[in-house]
């Protein structure tokens, strides 16, 4: 359930909202801000449910199971609207439509109306101005929940109309501990170094891109013991044939895994108890490879990944650079 996850992953957010719900002191507008993957949208949905649910728990949170809760979740609750800037920017017309719809009294028996603005920083300036007017005249029984990754891309006047609530990225250790309860130890370790929330780790684990990257990661170390050059060539041949899967995403996972390994080698220790992984580290130790230089090359490659159109070329360059410092 979302509320259990929220309590575990964002305890301060949980406490803040629970207090407001229990004492009936909810702000008219909240601004949830924090990095991607910290559960802001799930939490916004939970808060909306908690406004209308008749079966709230002792902390004031919704049951997440009743008919009202399900309709909020499926976005079929007439008095809830979502403006979503995650794919396309939010236009002024959408805000005006929302204003019109919410001008009348509520359609549902609860009388509560709520709107969520996802990725609020992706609204056009005109849309933000209209939204500002809307926020300035809060109606009784109407709540707004704005979500943003970067506060500095929102108008200060918008921020000042909302109560900001910060979502923090989970620590690596906390992520690893969470992931280990659901996933094999090594996967949990690698994923906790790349994604910072439980759902994100689970989704990644189930993706074909991650699974192929994991296969490559293991093949790569095996081949590397034979010959570093062959390993690099193997990567080029096997890795980036991305007809079915998303080659760039797969490459990103592979690079991240490899970076985690190099970081552990540089540090000389690891949190991961997986026997195979510890053997992998041992087999590298004392080889004197330039892990630091390789790490930098991988970092640069990862940064170029979304800018570069040609994956094979990028991979080629990376391998050439890695050979150069070998
Ligand atoms: Zn409910």
User: Residue 244: is its pLDDT beyond 70?
Assistant: no
Share of the chain above pLDDT 90, in %: 59
pLDDT score recorded for residue 247: 82
| The token pair that represents 68 in the structure block | 């009202």
How many whole angstroms from its chain centre is CA 179? 15
User: Residue 86: is its pLDDT beyond 80?
Assistant: yes
The Å distance, Cα 106 to ligand 1 centre, comes to: 18
pTM of the model: 0.67
How large is the average pLDDT for residues 180-195? 94
How large is the average pLDDT for residues 108-133? 90
- Higher pLDDT, residue 148 or 238: 148
The Å distance, Cα 33 to ligand 1 centre, comes to: 25
The Å distance, Cα 169 to ligand 1 centre, comes to: 28
Residue in the structure block whose two tokens are 């809830």: 80
Least trusted range by pLDDT, from 6-20, 105-119, 170-184: 105-119
Indicate the class that CATH gives domain 2-166: alpha beta
The Å distance, Cα 61 to ligand 1 centre, comes to: 9
The Å distance, Cα 91 to ligand 1 centre, comes to: 32
- Higher pLDDT, residue 147 or 196: 147
Q: How far is CA 28 from CA 42, 73, 120, 144, in A?
A: 19, 21, 16, 6
User: Residue 131: is its pLDDT beyond 80?
Assistant: yes
Q: How far apart are the first and last CA of the chain?
A: 49
Axis crossing angle, helix 11-22 with helix 2-9, rounded to the nearest 10: 120
Confidence of residue 87 (pLDDT cuts 50, 70, 90): confident
How many whole angstroms from its chain centre is CA 161? 26
Q: What are phi and psi of 142, to 5 degrees?
A: -125, 130
pLDDT score recorded for residue 239: 67
Least trusted range by pLDDT, from 6-15, 63-72, 191-200, 223-232: 223-232
pLDDT score recorded for residue 290: 93
User: Residue 192: is its pLDDT beyond 90?
Assistant: yes
Contact status, residue 92 vs residue 130, Cβ threshold 8 Å: yes
Q: Exposed/middle/buried for 185, CB within 10 Å: 0-12, 13-18, 19+? A: middle
Q: Starting at the earlier edge strand, list the strands of the sheet with 80-84.
A: 80-84, 113-118, 142-148, 29-33, 163-166
The Å distance, Cα 75 to ligand 1 centre, comes to: 14
The Å distance, Cα 41 to ligand 1 centre, comes to: 18
pLDDT score recorded for residue 160: 94
Interatomic CA distance for residues 291 and 289, integer angstroms: 6
How large is the average pLDDT for residues 273-293? 92
pLDDT score recorded for residue 172: 87
Extents of the domains making up the chain: 2-166, 207-325
User: Residue 65: is its pLDDT beyond 90?
Assistant: yes
Q: Nearest CA to 99 among 139, 59, 141, 146?
A: 139
* pLDDT tens sequence across 12-36: 999 999 999 999 999 999 999 998 7
Mean pLDDT, the chain, as a whole number?
A: 90
The Å distance, Cα 206 to ligand 1 centre, comes to: 29
pLDDT score recorded for residue 241: 59
User: Residue 221: is its pLDDT beyond 70?
Assistant: yes
The Å distance, Cα 63 to ligand 1 centre, comes to: 4
How many whole angstroms from its chain centre is CA 61? 23
pLDDT score recorded for residue 134: 86
Interatomic CA distance for residues 141 and 79, integer angstroms: 11
Confidence of residue 240 (pLDDT cuts 50, 70, 90): low
Share of the chain above pLDDT 70, in %: 97
DSSP letters, 96-153, are: HHHHHHHHSPPSSTT--EEEEEETGGGB-HHHHHHHHHHHHSPPTTEEEEEEES-GGG
Contact status, residue 126 vs residue 92, Cβ threshold 8 Å: yes
């Amino acid at each position: 359930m979302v509320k259990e996850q929220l309590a575990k992953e964002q305890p301060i957010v949980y406490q803040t909202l629970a207090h407001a719900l229990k004492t009936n002191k909810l702000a008219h507008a909240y601004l949830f801000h924090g990095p991607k993957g910290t559960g802001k949208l799930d939490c916004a949905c939970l808060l909306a449910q908690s406004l209308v649910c008749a079966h709230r728990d002792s902390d004031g949170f919704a049951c997440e199971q009743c008919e009202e809760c399900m309709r909020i979740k499926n976005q079929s609750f007439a008095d809830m609207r979502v403006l979503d800037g995650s794919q396309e920017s939010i236009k002024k017309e959408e805000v005006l439509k929302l204003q019109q719809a919410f001008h009348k009294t509520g359609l549902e028996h609860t009388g509560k109306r709520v709107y969520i603005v996802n990725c609020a920083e992706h609204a056009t300036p005109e849309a933000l101005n209209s939204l500002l007017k809307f926020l300035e005249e809060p109606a009784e029984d109407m709540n707004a929940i704005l979500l943003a990754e970067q506060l500095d891309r929102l108008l200060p006047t918008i921020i000042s109309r909302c109560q900001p609530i910060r979502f923090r990225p989970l620590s690596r250790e906390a992520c690893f501990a969470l992931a280990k309860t659901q996933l094999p130890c090594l996967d949990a370790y690698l994923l906790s170094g790349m994604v910072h929330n439980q759902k994100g780790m689970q989704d990644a684990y189930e993706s074909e891109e991650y699974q192929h990257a994991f296969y490559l990661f293991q093949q790569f170390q095996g081949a590397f013991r034979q010959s570093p050059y062959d390993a690099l060539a193997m990567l080029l041949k096997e890795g980036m044939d991305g007809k079915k899967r998303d080659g760039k995403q797969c490459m990103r996972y592979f690079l991240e895994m490899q970076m985690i390994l190099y970081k552990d080698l540089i540090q000389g220790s690891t949190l991961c108890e997986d026997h195979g992984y510890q053997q992998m580290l041992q087999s590298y130790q004392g080889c004197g490879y330039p892990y630091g230089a390789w790490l930098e090359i991988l970092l640069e490659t990862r940064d170029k990944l979304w800018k570069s159109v040609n994956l094979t070329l990028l991979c080629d360059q990376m391998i050439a650079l890695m050979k150069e410092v070998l």
